Structure 1
């Protein structure tokens, strides 16, 4: 059993969402395009996870930061079915295959195999999975699954961090990393009344633009 599409976008982040928007601008027909993501929500702006999502007052929440919200000064149209309408102007439906992990790709036959055994065929594949989080064990430290160890890569990670901040107001946190995400997480922790120590290999923090 399987499904067939002309275009398949693999990934559920910023790149996937805006790639799909470009397809809608070109007039892609219903059923031609799908987005496959192992998350349970449509593509969203991941930078919001280290910014508005962590705020103690009026925090950002979905659907307010799905990708393409307000793109071209237009309002995002959203429904609860399989189609995601990116804007009023671009009204082509895009099939969302959510909560689905792709475990292998046969580029010769142009087929993807999911963890549930389903095959998804395509003519054109766009891989927009982005990076993955670096676990502690990969730098020689045990404890990745400890309750008080948090990562920040997806919505589930951010939700866990918010819950922990609420539980440990006045506590102390160690932020590993002095780059873009590390600095923004540190600022959010302080705003949530958490004392912060930052640990990073360089002699100064570096926020890349």
Structure 2
């Protein structure tokens, strides 16, 4: 299983790294929305921990890891402090943040799917919960910021699709008894690379066939916040 891929300390470090970059995206959105430091901390915490918290509550892994490991709670606060003082610099390094965000997406969709299956969910349900683990925090972030979730917007580069691909690969490997450290890493890598390609080539999901809407992307919406 996924836990066999890394030692516990390395896996924990990767979790914290993913939490950190997700928290940065939440804090940056708070800056763009002109929130105060408390609002920044709230969005950072929700973005970083929301998906995993939802997963743990659904599968009955209580108390959730977010409430048993102090590092999970403190890391978003560290990201908030960083963005509070250095947000112009962080904005300029958005490309690097996106790379780490994509890595977190790949790791979390695989970890979420695997953990859900280990707690007794079926294959389809495990894949759905893996997707929720990866993207749930971003949805909560956008809702709290009074924005249409980036996950649902046509003018955002693919985000859910890479997570779906990663989660689907995991359940296929489980179904054919092929899940091992190598295939787990392969699923995470697939989600990671697909997200990076979507960012590079501006890949987006298709809209309704023969739609009549004249909605266009506004100039201030061209920069993805996911």
* Shorter-chain TM-score range: under 0.3
Q: Which structure has the highest helix share of the two?
A: 2
Q: TM-score, normalised by structure 2?
A: 0.25
- Highest CA radius of gyration, 1 or 2? 1
Q: TM-score, normalised by structure 1?
A: 0.26
